[in-house]
Structure 1
């Protein structure tokens, strides 16, 4: 299997694991299993503008790393609903190595301090009811790699 196909398969597998977490989260939050969203994905309508995102990172003065989520046709919100009616408002789930590390309710997300080395983060746009947004090309998601330099080596 080619490396890109393997990465895609792993990403889709991670998404499937998130479905189970989504159902458990909705039941825990609402206490009513009938209020679990009817579907796992919320498809962007054929005639609606397609949301998109680009990711960039920067290291802040105190050593903290920030993830900037530059989204188009999408507004961040911290309001969660049992059933979202639109695909242009919501939040983003942030993953590192296939594990969810947080939820971004604004376009800037703190990654905290990162150890020296290579790190890969992925972000998936979600509707206000936590369904993953999907367009004609699949999940509306992006990835970014961060290389954190190690301490300078002493010159002898």
Structure 2
């Protein structure tokens, strides 16, 4: 009986692992977490993602208006050539705190995350001040960072998105 139970356990472990690897290798879509829908749930995300073919152009509609007072967030960015490869993005918000622990939760004043766009296409969600950028398109590249609330609404002050843009030339 002990041997039968041991063989069954081994079979389940290896069978599940092989099944998962086979599904992943064949780009089988598994339920995931999407930010294309307001509540961030219910969409499927493929295991393999080709960023060039993803439609993630951004919109500043349905944002969160922040009062223009001494607590209003502001944003500066720097895009620095990395000596090894690619570029380093430095995001420097004021009156704003990155809060990955509260992602997809209700809005809390002064915290959230950022969305990073290259030439108008969203490439990442950012939870801290630094990001390494690779595979940028040759020629001019516009890097834009937009501050967002925990519930993924872009922040704006007097109708202007809290964002910063830098243009670089990629050789």
* TM category, shorter: 0.5 to 0.7
Give the 3-state SS of the residue equivalent to 2:36 in structure 1: helix
Give the 3-state SS of the residue equivalent to 1:92 in structure 2: strand
In the aligned structure 2, how far is the partner of 1:124 from the partner of 1:93? Answer: 5
Which protein is bigger by CA-based radius of gyration?
2
RMSD, aligned CA? 2.3
Aligned partner (choices 64, 82, 102) of residue 105 of structure 2? 82
In the aligned structure 2, how far is the partner of 1:125 from the partner of 1:141? Answer: 6
Q: Which residue of 2 aligns with 1:26?
A: 40
TM-score, normalisation: structure 1: 0.66
Aligned partner (choices 125, 138, 141) of residue 119 of structure 1? 141
User: Is 1:123–1:142's contact at 8 Å kept on the other side of the alignment?
Assistant: yes
Higher mean displacement: 42-51 or 72-81: 42-51
Taking the TM superposition and a 5 Å limit, the aligned residue runs for 1:42-53 are 42-47=64-69, 49-53=71-75
Taking the TM superposition and a 5 Å limit, the aligned residue runs for 1:103-142 are 103-142=125-164
Offset of residue 137 of structure 1: 4.3
Offset from partner CA, 1:69-95 (integer Å, 9 cap, x none) = 111111112121431131x11110011
- In the alignment, structure 2 segments of 5+ residues that lack a partner are 1-34, 44-60
Offset from partner CA, 1:25-77 (integer Å, 9 cap, x none) = 61338xxxxxxxxx932221354511111111112231121111111111112
User: Is 1:122–1:143's contact at 8 Å kept on the other side of the alignment?
Assistant: yes
TM-score, normalisation: structure 2: 0.61
